[in-house]
A and B are shown apart, each in its own frame.
Chain A
Amino acid sequence: MSDAKHAYRKTLSQRIFHFLGSMDLAITLLLTLAIASIIGTVLQQNQPYTDYLLKFGPFWFDVFESAGLYDVYSALWFLAILTLLVTSTSVCVIRHTPSMLNDMRNLRTHVQEKSLRAMHYRAEWQSDNAVSDLASDLESHMQQQGFRAKQTLIDDGILVSAMKGGLNRLGYIATHLAIIIICVGGLMDSNLPLKLAEWQGRLAIETRDLPSSQIPAKSRLPVGPQAFRGSINIPEGRTSEVAFVGMRDGYLVQELPFKIEVKDFRIEHYATGQPKSFETDLIVFDDDLAQPIEQTISVNHPLFHKGYAIYQASFSDGGSALSLQAWPLTKVAGKETVEFEAKVFENREMIWGDQSLKLEMLSFRPFNINPDPTEDDPDRIRNFGPSFGFKLRTKTGEALEYINYMLPVEKEGRSFYLSGVRASPAEEFGFLYLPVDKNGGLDGFNQFLTELHSSDKVAAIAHNMMLQTLTDVADRTAELEQNLEQTLVILVAMFIDNGFQGVGEFIDTAVPENERENLGPAYLGMLREMLARIYFNSQDSSEIDNADSEQLLFLQDALNAIGSLSRYGSPVYLMLTDYEHVEASGLQIARSPGKPVVYLGCALLIAGVFILFYLPQRRFWLLVKAKSGVTTVLLAGMSNRNPREFDVFFEQQKQILQHGNGNS
């Protein structure tokens, strides 16, 4: 009754304490954390926000952003679950530690005979020995077994209490304390202080693409003891005194107390061509050092200095110099190729007539031994030579992205230059195949294209063809002649604009339905004839009938390419003539003051878990009493785990104790 009253009168804080330390909460939290963790493994974290926007659309993008799903593991609600778990564990440790410590040391010398008789493991026998002798024998036997043992005098006899594996309780404390310590260490290394500073307005995340010297002070983190994980790409021969710390859709600049120079970056390869190592020769200049540190780092072999660790994380282009030729593909681009220089990551304006485009050079690779991007069979590996990627951006800001491979690729026995184009990173590249002429270049294609673009030439050939077509027509009029000639010119123009597809659409829309069946194939036949004439004219071999199959195939390939130019979108094809490769080493720079704390927690956790599982706490009691001339022994035992092993152990001990001491 009074107990119930007492419970009733628990204060609110006691009740909260009780709730926090409850097992139900602990298990719920463990499982909640497990389930919540799944989110970040399914949704790729910390990607550029534009990617998420593309993937989810504006509505869900906003919803997910406000739920913090792009960086779940530092979202407030996720941290709240973690905090609750740590709190719960702490409460649990606080609540249990005193009794556990007590249990560890206490041999339970006050246990009642009644409780001993109620134990599952017990035995009783008689002996002729005197009580005190027997008790001492029993005590020393238990001690030999590695038990701590002690005799206690009670009313009518002696109680020997023994215990082994008291450490087990320490295992519990170590395991649970370890969780708290690991989380505290993790917190020390988290970006929570940055979030707090941002929230208070002391920090602002920079989202613009600025040179690091121009980044405002509000986005800079001074040298200090705080934890961070930043990265930096340093081209060969250049230095940096900062690292960039990515935050959501922007970054912060972390200043470093030293200067890092990348002397050289290397990739080594196995005989099979797979990369074997990524290495950077670093020089660290620090005013506190008499001499700069020179060290080579590689994956798995970082450099440590002043509590900072510098890791090889990635690599990229460091602004390679490219010599390019622009081959005209459209009329505005003219007839001649233009040569110019460009650097990776630099932009330049390109102007053709009234068309102006911004060329943004994105990437360069000196060689590509890749799965074929144009084939369905990804096992097929081939060499594509050097490649470079770029974007062409119009005044209105729309851009198409290109990738050009500089080693002609064989397809069905013919060679082509490949250029991929796409409108967004979410798409696959579509490829333009430019046929290579018999001299291994693009001249043949270019000549043909120039003829196609020359209205005089086309008009002249159309005239010729008209005359030949109409030789046998008796009642031809000037109007008919003009009509036919015009039609031929228009068909060619339509083909240049939109390929055979464009002509097909024209036929489907502009030709009356009843004439379509006859006129359609007629138009296409005429167009093909025209194109062939223009082509062979350009090749100075006007004899179409004598053409070899090689030429016809080239014509076919050229027409396919021209037909897809409207989708290709660029007025020129860029070809690489020379390059100077400059690489950049991607370094990750980190300071984690919490690391030793976490490691301490880990050591404690491992020790704790093994102790908990494999060092059971075992207790024995031997109550020795004199009863009407004989000495009786009551043996009882318990173990806090591994009952099956204790079954055997207890039985063994019972035998030994009974026979060794009882009847001697």
Chain B
Amino acid sequence: MTHLAGTIRTDNSSALMQWLWRIVIALSGVALLATYFNVFDGYEIAIVILTAVTLILLGQNWPQFRVHIISVSLLSWFAVARYGTDLDLGDSDFFLNYILSSQSAFMWMSALFVLATLTYLGGLLLRSDFTEKVATALTWSAATMGMVGLMVRWRESYLISHDVGHIPVSNLYEVFILFAVITALLYLFYERRYQTRSLGSFVLFVISAAVAFQLWYTFDRHAHEIQPLVPALQSYWMKIHVPANFVGYGAFSMAAMIGVAYLLKSWRQTHNPNGVIASALPDLAVIDDLMYKAIALGFAFFTVATILGALWAAEAWGGYWSWDPKETWALIVWLNYAAWLHMRMTKGWNGRPMAWWAIIGLFVTIFAFLGVNMFLSGLHSYGTL
């Protein structure tokens, strides 16, 4: 089957499965809306519809994604039911305490991601299809546990108190999980589409790094505690601005790691063309194409996220653009990738310089994501209000 590696997979799910999926999601959406019709405002209804459409589109030709969504739904539902209205059950109920409370789910996610990274690496070095398939399964499980953790945490925040409740994308701790899950899903999408698992250890490496940072952050700063939202963050824009941003960050990270794979392969190819790395990784042209795809996806979502941020700013701060450090760094990231895309599309550059540039881009992105919050002050640090 290896001869397929790098070619685009085009098989579609059977029409029956497709319709089944569409109906299940549509019905769930309708059920959700019918149950909470009185509580939801127009934006929330729009978000539910948007989510349903996205799930339908992603799932209709992607069986694993369907399994993922259904597992997340069932596990989250089970955890929420287990909790009832008593947050303290998180420490006493067996299922919650060891598996499904958000804190435990995140621990499982972290462990599974690290394991998946190592397994991918093993699969790559041993050139074992089976090992790589195990790694894919581990990655799916990790993403599922992460997503379940986020869902359960959402509920937990409401169990603390109704006014504390909010979607868990409001602080560095929560967005790190979001980052890990989104990056993993993006990777899994391309892994299937390009029919190659050999890039897994590269992409999963950033996820593991993020998980490591996250663990340190949890233990060092007690960051996992659910905090109420500061007034500036109490906005429906947060629900879409932050996830859109993380699709961007995730795709850029993936592009950078694919860039690393490119450089490694092109280096090994000249020195040891029959070695493991050179023969296991897909063709340079495929890697290059994948890198472009990732950056294009990241750029598109980053554009959306930045614009959503501007709309939000117009409502919260009285101006759609204030040259606040976080905004400005988003612009810097965006301009950098715009230049990258032009260089590739119009000047036809590809290969090693573009791979290096993608890696540098990751550092710019990391600064925009973390550095700004840590080193620079501005409206995004929510210092005054």
- A residues bordering B, Cβ < 8 Å? 23, 26-27, 30-31, 33-34, 37-38, 40-42, 44-45, 72-73, 186, 189, 229, 270-272, 274-278, 298-302, 309, 311-315, 588-590, 592, 595, 598-599, 602, 605-606, 609-610, 613-614, 641, 643-645, 647-648, 652
Contacts and interface: CB of A to CB of B under 8 A. Distances in A.
Given A34-B331, A300-B316, A590-B318, A275 B323 contact: no
Interface residues on B, range: 35 or more
A609 B163 contact: no
A278 B346 contact: no
A70 to B, nearest CB: 12
Contacts of A271: 161
A540 to B, nearest CB: 52
B316 A644 contact: no
Given A38-B332, A299-B232, A643 B318 contact: no
Contacts of B10: 648, 652
Interface string B187-217: 0000000100000000000000000000000
A189 B321 CA distance: 10
A276 B317 contact: no
Interface string B275-305: 0000000000010010000001101100110
A313 B315 CA distance: 11
Nearest to B237: A300
B231 A647 contact: no
A300 B231 contact: yes
B235 A300 contact: yes
Contacts of B351: none
Nearest to B376: A41
Interface in B141-171: 161, 163-164
Contacts of A298: 231
Contacts of A229: 318-319
B1 interface: no
26 contacts: A23-B346, A27-B339, A30-B342, A31-B339, A34-B332, A34-B335, A34-B336, A40-B323, A41-B325, A42-B376, A73-B323, A186-B321, A274-B230, A277-B234, A299-B234, A300-B235, A314-B384, A598-B310, A599-B311, A605-B307, A606-B303, A606-B304, A643-B289, A644-B8, A645-B8, A652-B10
A650 B376 CA distance: 51
Nearest to B9: A648
A614 B301 CA distance: 13
Given A30-B336, A37-B332, 10 more contacts: A27-B343, A27-B347, A30-B338, A34-B335, A41-B328, A311-B316, A609-B303, A641-B345, A644-B6, A645-B8
Contacts of A274: 227-228, 230
Interface in B324-374: 325, 328-329, 331-332, 335-336, 338-339, 342-343, 345-347, 372
Contacts of A609: 299-300, 303
Given A34-B331, A40-B323, A27 B304 contact: no
Nearest to A38: B332
Q: Which 5 pairs of residues, A with B, have the shortest CB-CB distance?
A: A588-B318, A41-B325, A311-B318, A34-B335, A299-B231
Contacts of A643: 289
A320 to B, nearest CB: 19
B7 interface: yes
Contact of A277 (B231, B318, B347): B231
A40 to B, nearest CB: 6
Contacts of A275: 230-231
Contacts of A27: 339, 342-343, 347
B167 to A, nearest CB: 15
B328 A40 contact: yes
Contacts of A602: 307, 310-311
B24 interface: no
A648 B331 contact: no
A275 B328 CA distance: 28
Given A37-B328, A41-B329, A31 B336 contact: yes
B385 A299 contact: yes
Contacts of A40: 323, 325, 328
B347 A302 contact: no
A598 B338 CA distance: 19
A644 B286 contact: yes
B13 interface: no
Contact of A23 (B286, B318, B347): B347
B232 to A, nearest CB: 5
B320 interface: yes
B314 interface: yes
Contacts of B307: 602, 605-606
| Residue among A23, A31, A41, A272 facing the most chain B CB atoms (10 A cut-off) | A41
B163 A276 contact: yes
A37 B331 CA distance: 8
B377 interface: yes
Contacts of B339: 27, 30-31, 34
A299 B316 contact: yes
Contacts of A589: 318
A602 B10 CA distance: 33
A309 B318 contact: yes
A643 B283 CA distance: 14
B318 A598 contact: no
A285 B8 CA distance: 65
B317 A588 contact: yes
B301 to A, nearest CB: 10
Given A590-B319, A606-B304, A613 B296 contact: yes
Contacts of A30: 335-336, 338-339, 342
